Amino acid sequence: MTVYVGTDTAKTRRGLKVGDKTYAYYSIAAAEAAGLGDFSKLPASLKVVLENMLRFEDGKTVTTEDIRAFAEWATLGGRNPREIAYRPARVLMQDFTGVPAVVDLAAMRDGIKALGGDAQKINPLNPVDLVIDHSVMIDEFGNPRAFQMNVDLEYQRNIERYQFLKWGQSAFDNFRVVPPGTGICHQVNLEYLAQAVWTDTDPAGEVVAYPDTLVGTDSHTTMVNGLAVLGWGVGGIEAEAAMLGQPVSMLIPEVVGFKLTGRMVEGTTATDLVLKVVQMLRKKGVVGKFVEFYGEGLDHLPLADRATIANMAPEYGATCGFFPIDAETLRYLRNTGRAEDRVALVEAYAKENGMWRGADYEPVYTDRLRLDMGEIVPAISGPKRPQDYTPLNMAAHAFYNTVADYRGIDVSNGAEKMAGEGGEVAIAEPLEVRKSAPVEGKDYEIRDGSVVIAAITSCTNTSNPYVMIGAGLVARKAREKGLTRKPWVKTSLAPGSQVVAEYLEAANLQEDLDAIGFNLVGFGCTTCIGNSGPLGDPAISKAIGDNDLVATAVLSGNRNFEGRISPDVRANYLASPPLVVAYALAGDVNIDLSSEPLGKGKDGEDVYLKDIWPTTKEVAELVEQTVTREAFQSKYADVFKGDERWQAVETTDSETYDWPPTSTYIQNPPYFQGMAKEPGVISDISGARVLALLGDMVTTDHISPAGSFKPTTPAGKYLTERQIAPKDFNSYGSRRGNHEIMMRGTFANIRIRNEMLDGVEGGYTKGPDGEQTSIFDASMAYQEAGVPLVVIGGVEYGAGSSRDWAAKGTALLGVKAVIAESFERIHRSNLVGMGVIPFEFTGGDNRKSLGLKGDEEISISGLAGDLKPLSLVPCVIRYADGTEKTIELKCRIDTAIEIEYVEHGGVLHYVLRNLAKG
């Protein structure tokens, strides 16, 4: 494949001989010799971006002044927020976000034909890989049939989507699909797709080497930064623009250096380390920044552990968490089956272009943190935020406070306190706040704190053989002692790749995991994204609901937001895979695993966690024996071929998609229908009403449709009207290709709280008549009346996953603006990409200080005419009693190109019009 890789600028293009091959590359040292500045003290992560500027310098999109700005960044102490146009090498997708992206591409083919253009212009210019990993649900568990039955149900539910994706694979150039049952996209990327240094052939036939970079339609795309591949999550909207050749508009970021020293101590895992890192960086505040890890501690940190830390960059708020190339990078590439000439190129290129981490690596950073890994202790995080770090010996007491808060009971009077890294927690119990209830037909009770889901899941930890082997050894030792999971715990094992299953089998650990209920349920995200399926027994779910119990889930994932994991679970805890196994054995987070027994063994003796915890040496020896280069080469040999089911999926062969009118999974979206050839203008917002008044940390899980839904919801009613039975509803995520369902599920999370209503959870608001109704029905009524809408939020609005439907749904509901105290990076960009304008309060104003109740009219001026990025604009609030107040808002259209996007109605409209013009 020949791909345009940039302008042949003689002053920076050089040759690099590696073995018997010669590569062209764009030299940072040559740029210094040409007088463009001193780049020697730049962090490696920023040098990757600088190389991108050198390669694409054309005097227009990228100029020499853009390049000089990187030298100024170093002299200005790590700050120079200049707007640049960055072009990633490739795009990574998963099926939940990928299906609507391919739907948009198919709709753009229809749209460009309507504008008189050529449908073949709608093709990815950069390589795109889509991995189907989000669709498998855990209906069956705890038995040898679980994997087969879950896969059968996956195909049965999702055949329409899979037919559509196979059409896309044949219709579009540069687009590959990794079939279901292969693994999680980030793990497949880390283990196979990523190359650390990418190569392409330029128009002259010369092979050009440059850093492997990407954007992905999933926030945890950052995982691959552990392999020194610069990548981060974007919404599907922004990814589509990138794959169609549109550069990513960004500011030169600040880079926070995080120095790791020491080494991990016995009994701790990479998960314990990353949970501490998340807490530290959330406290520091790194939203919109790069974090680069360095220091002598990296000499003792395996790449799998680095990937765990890089994976959770969205949880600590950074754009990415980057690890430079070093000897461990090369070891991992070699051990996972990459070609020897690629490994040699990575080493030579990194050293030649100043991206190698040697013993003297100490660049300029914007700011710094430091952590001695020897101080890490076993920990979990929860009950609803990844940064709620709690040392294991304080976890039971912290949960007691969680229940007290939920029940509105003050346990502070007379309660002894102890201070710890998780904050102050009560260690005395002056009041009994926990409730319990019998489970109908069973001989046990469950209570507040009963663990009803214990899941080894997600890309974050199942990519790490040290914690996976560790979990298997905990299972083995527990089995030998005669322990098994408690009967109310739904257990599951969903590895991130088939290689994990291979080495667990090779180590004879899968048999031990099976024996205590951790049977293989599928290869995919499963519980981590809410595909946990129903609890093990409907009677358990009934006991929880009837008695308002605070049931818990413990998972080895990265997200534990409210309402995400299961509608039956209120408290979700992130933990290492070995601790997930331990909590399944204990069955209760009220038990202090650091000091109390997990249960009684077959000899009647108490068994403690220390009795079944493997040593670091035991884990390392098994990893060395079973995690082999041959296993990776074998499992990835036919990665795009799929099994017999995938090969049997039938699809059409056509340039444009024949939208099946009866499909409830795939529908032609309205974005490009009837689109004018010329863009419009940005208009002032007058007389808008408030659709939702929301609090702090409203995540994209709250906004975007996710998980299951009931027949009584607007989405459920839509399907029922089309004769779809509730058992066949599937999930919101699986129906992201149908805008009719997705707009009905926007702002419909079961735990979202609209402050316009007192004590009401779920997707409700007040309609034009002032009566409570669904968000969807209210928005339709307002749109029919021609009334624009706004949404008002607090701090960190839009945190979490890169769900493009959080922005698409917002736009389709008629929302013209979102006003919040602050925005998370991806969601702000997605809103702009859909033509919805984000605004931030200024001067200490917020929804509470302004006394907003949701019955106000909002008018924002200063938008029409010559709007500049980050402008301050006046906003008039007209209260229900007729009084008015004028405040100042910051318009979070951050760059000049984003203003053009909004003028066009969105970034895809901008791209489509330009392609139609030729």
pLDDT digits (tens, 9 = 90+) for 78-94: 999 998 999 999 999 99
Q: Give the CATH number of domain 685-917.
A: 3.20.19.10
φ, ψ for residue 572, nearest 5 deg: -120, 135
Residue 814: helix, strand or coil by DSSP?
Answer: coil
Terminal-to-terminal C-alpha distance of the chain:
23
- Reported CATH class of domain 90-375: alpha beta
- In 3-state terms, the chain is what percent helix, strand and coil (to 5)? 35, 20, 45
The parts of the chain modelled with pLDDT lower than 70 are 1-10, 412-431, 802
What's residue 329's pLDDT? 98
Tens digits of residue pLDDT in 318-341: 999 999 999 999 999 999 999 999
Q: Alpha helix (H) ranges present in 566-643?
A: 577-586, 609-612, 616-626, 629-635
What's residue 419's pLDDT? 39
Answer positive or negative: Cα dihedral of 43, 44, 46, 52.
Answer: positive
**CATH 3.20.19.10 domain span(s) along the chain:** 685-917
Give how far Cα 639 sits from Cα of 176, 180, 304, 311, Å: 10, 10, 21, 23
Strand arrangement of the beta sheet that strand 207-211 belongs to: 13-18, 21-26, 207-211, 197-201
What's residue 865's pLDDT? 86
**CATH 3.30.499.10 domain span(s) along the chain:** 90-375, 379-627
Give how far Cα 717 sits from Cα of 656, 724, 734, 744, Å: 31, 10, 17, 10
Pairing of strands 417-418, 367-372: unpaired
* d(C-alpha 764, C-alpha 752), whole Å: 9
CATH topology for 379-627?
Aconitase; domain 3 (3.30.499)
Which helix or strand (DSSP H or E) is residue 741 part of?
helix 739-745
What's residue 161's pLDDT? 93
Indicate the pTM of the whole model.
0.86
